[in-house]
């Protein structure tokens, strides 16, 4: 009985007859008998659905999750609260796909929420236009660098040393194979060294800055913007969208291109993905953007409709003329962001940002009071901060983990010169009790 597999005995006979073969054995007659398996596969009997669920539950229980653990680990992937309505909406059958809506006549719902995503992100960043989404924040940053080269035909891109190290690796890969010279601007006291901005010259296409940066510190963007634009280079800002509830936006700073990772906007951490990259620009640069943009128009009957427009990618035009090889978009993750932003509203985003700042500063003060830490950098922070400790960092991690707390990031993972330096992350989800518990556990570490 072929209940699920659409291949009956009659189907097989018909197909074999069409190609002039009498049996399955004849079909595979070119395979030597000596290597054929002449018995049934050694596979266990099938399980019932109930048995499969028990097996999968047992396997999944081996994972520790953020419902049971308090996390002080961030560095690009953050444990923010996700309203239950986000999962409910994105799980609806008409939305639950990542397929690109090529046929607007049957994809108006999908196109509308992509349009809403672009509109909300443009308002949040204060940029003229945001595209339909990118793969993640790192690739969005690399695409922005290539976009800048297309705009002014220069050969260099300058990037601050305070950008996320993994984003820098992606940027190095993109630039290497396009023969773009990548200039690294040194850091000082955890921020971009303003004196080193003299590295920018007439061949520098763009300057890339992350704000808040990898160490959680808010950069001196105004001075960087002036030095960049005085050289007629483009300013590319990588931002945490949650920070824009309280930190000055890229548009207000005068950025030409904005990029970032949208995981904070209602997307689970998911072992590292899938996430949501975004890229935006001024109207003047709109036609140089990668990916695609969803637009609002009227059909032949005068009715409002949504369509994909400005799709200058290699699926539509010659490869050498394409703005990008981005062949799809993260539309399901973009929908999560749309629902999150809609539910939270302006006041909600501001409240989350304020809680991040206040709780991060509280945690930092309490840790410093133990006399087992000292601040590495002195700048203002958003939700992350770096402390140096006299303790064994492995012992700190184990002591916290034994008490169901995921500890901070050891920065020596990225830079051997930063031994005993820890990057703590505190989001709005962390309570005073959780912060105090973390501090008390560390106090007992010898």
pLDDT tens-digit series, residues 364-398: 999 999 999 999 999 999 999 999 999 999 999 99
Task: Return the residue matching tokens 């996700």.
Answer: 82
Which secondary structure element, helix H or strand E, spans residue 361, and what is its range?
A: helix 331-369
pLDDT higher than 80, residue 68:
yes
- Nearest Cα to 363, choosing from 343, 348, 383, 338? 383
pLDDT tens-digit series, residues 289-301: 988 899 999 988 8
CA distance 423 to 440: 18
Crossing angle of helices 108-125 and 331-369, rounded to 10°: 30
- Using 50, 70 and 90 to split pLDDT, how confident is the model at 424? very high
In percent, the amount of the chain with pLDDT more than 90 equals: 80
CA distance 41 to 49: 22
- Using 50, 70 and 90 to split pLDDT, how confident is the model at 21? very high
Whether omega before 274 lies within 30 degrees of 0, making that bond cis, reads yes
Distance of CA 331 to the CA centre of its chain: 13
CA distance 321 to 293: 18
pLDDT tens-digit series, residues 75-115: 999 999 999 999 999 999 888 876 667 777 778 888 999 99
Crossing angle of helices 331-369 and 432-443, rounded to 10°: 50
- Nearest Cα to 208, choosing from 185, 181, 189? 185
Mean pLDDT, to the nearest integer, of 335-346?
A: 97
CA distance 382 to 391: 25
- Mean pLDDT, the chain, rounded, equals 93
Whether omega before 212 lies within 30 degrees of 0, making that bond cis, reads yes
pLDDT tens-digit series, residues 221-273: 999 999 999 999 999 999 999 999 999 999 999 999 999 999 999 999 998 88
SS3 205: strand
Quote the pLDDT of residue 309: 84
Which value, in Å, is the radius of gyration of the alpha carbons in the chain?
A: 26
Quote the pLDDT of residue 212: 98
CATH class of 84-340: alpha beta
Task: Name the region of 117 (left: φ>0; alpha: ψ -120 to 50; beta: rest).
Answer: alpha
pLDDT tens-digit series, residues 132-162: 999 999 999 999 999 999 999 999 999 999 9
CA distance 334 to 123: 15
CA distance 398 to 199: 43
DSSP letter (8 states) at residue 22 = S
**For domain 70-81+345-443, which CATH number applies: 1.10.3470.10, 3.90.1150.10, 3.90.1480.20, 2.70.240.10?**
3.90.1150.10
Higher pLDDT, 358 or 324: 358
- Residue 379 — φ and ψ, nearest 5°? -75, 165
pTM of the predicted protein model: 0.88
- Nearest Cα to 273, choosing from 282, 264, 263? 263
CA distance 279 to 221: 19
Q: List residues bridging with 373 in a β-sheet.
A: 389
Which residues, in sequence order, are CB contacts of 407 under 8 Å at separation 6+?
72, 73, 396, 397, 400, 401, 422, 438
Q: Where are the domains of the chain?
A: 9-56, 70-81+345-443, 84-340
Domains 70-81+345-443 and 84-340 alike in fold: no
Crossing angle of helices 393-402 and 432-443, rounded to 10°: 130
Quote the pLDDT of residue 250: 98
Quote the pLDDT of residue 320: 65
- Using 50, 70 and 90 to split pLDDT, how confident is the model at 400? very high
Task: Name the region of 87 (left: φ>0; alpha: ψ -120 to 50; beta: rest).
Answer: alpha
Task: Return the residue matching tokens 């074999």.
Answer: 16
SS3 20: coil
pLDDT tens-digit series, residues 36-52: 988 888 888 889 999 99
SS3 content of the chain, % helix, strand, coil (to 5): 45, 15, 40
Take residue 314 and report the two structure tokens written for it.
């290699």
In percent, the amount of the chain with pLDDT more than 70 equals: 94
């Amino acid at each position: 009985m072929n209940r699920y597999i659409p291949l009956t005995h009659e189907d097989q006979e018909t197909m074999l007859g069409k190609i002039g073969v009498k049996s399955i054995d004849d079909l595979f007659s070119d395979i030597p008998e000596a290597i054929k398996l002449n018995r049934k596969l050694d596979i266990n009997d099938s399980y019932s659905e109930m048995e499969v669920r028990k097996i999968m539950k047992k396997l999944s229980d081996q994972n520790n999750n953020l419902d049971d653990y308090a996390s002080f680990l961030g560095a690009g992937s953050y444990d923010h609260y996700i309203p239950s309505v986000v999962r409910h909406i994105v799980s609806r059958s008409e939305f639950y796909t990542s397929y690109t809506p090529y046929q607007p006549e049957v994809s108006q719902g999908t196109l509308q929420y992509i349009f809403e995503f672009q509109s909300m992100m443009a308002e949040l960043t204060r940029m003229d236009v945001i595209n339909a989404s990118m793969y993640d924040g790192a690739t969005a940053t690399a695409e922005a660098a290539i976009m800048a080269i297309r705009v002014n035909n220069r050969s260099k891109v300058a990037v601050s040393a305070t950008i996320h190290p993994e984003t820098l690796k992606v940027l190095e890969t993109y630039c290497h194979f396009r023969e773009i010279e990548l200039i690294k601007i040194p850091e000082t006291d955890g921020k971009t060294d303003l004196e080193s901005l003299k590295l920018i010259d007439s061949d520098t296409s763009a300057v890339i800055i992350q704000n808040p940066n990898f160490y959680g510190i808010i950069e001196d963007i105004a001075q960087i913007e002036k030095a960049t634009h005085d050289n007629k280079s483009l300013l590319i800002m990588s931002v945490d969208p949650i920070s824009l509830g309280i930190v000055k936006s890229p548009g207000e700073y005068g950025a030409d291109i904005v990029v970032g990772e949208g995981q904070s906007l209602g997307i689970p951490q998911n072992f590292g993905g899938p996430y949501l990259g975004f890229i935006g620009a001024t109207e003047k640069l709109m036609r140089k953007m990668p990916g695609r943009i969803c637009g609002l128009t009227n059909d032949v009957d005068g009715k409002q409709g949504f369509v994909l427009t400005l799709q200058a990618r290699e699926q539509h035009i010659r490869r050498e003329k394409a703005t990008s090889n981005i062949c799809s978009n993260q539309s399901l993750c973009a929908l999560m962001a749309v629902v999150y932003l809609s539910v939270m509203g302006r006041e909600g985003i501001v409240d989350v940002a304020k809680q991040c700042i206040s709780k991060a500063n509280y945690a930092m003060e309490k840790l410093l009071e133990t006399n087992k830490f000292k601040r590495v950098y002195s700048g203002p922070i958003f939700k992350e901060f770096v402390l140096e400790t006299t303790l064994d960092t492995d012992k700190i991690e184990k002591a916290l983990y034994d008490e169901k707390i995921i500890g901070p990031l050891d920065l020596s993972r990225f830079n051997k010169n930063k031994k005993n330096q820890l990057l703590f992350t505190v989001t709005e989800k962390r309570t005073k009790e959780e912060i105090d518990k973390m501090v008390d556990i560390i106090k007992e570490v010898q």
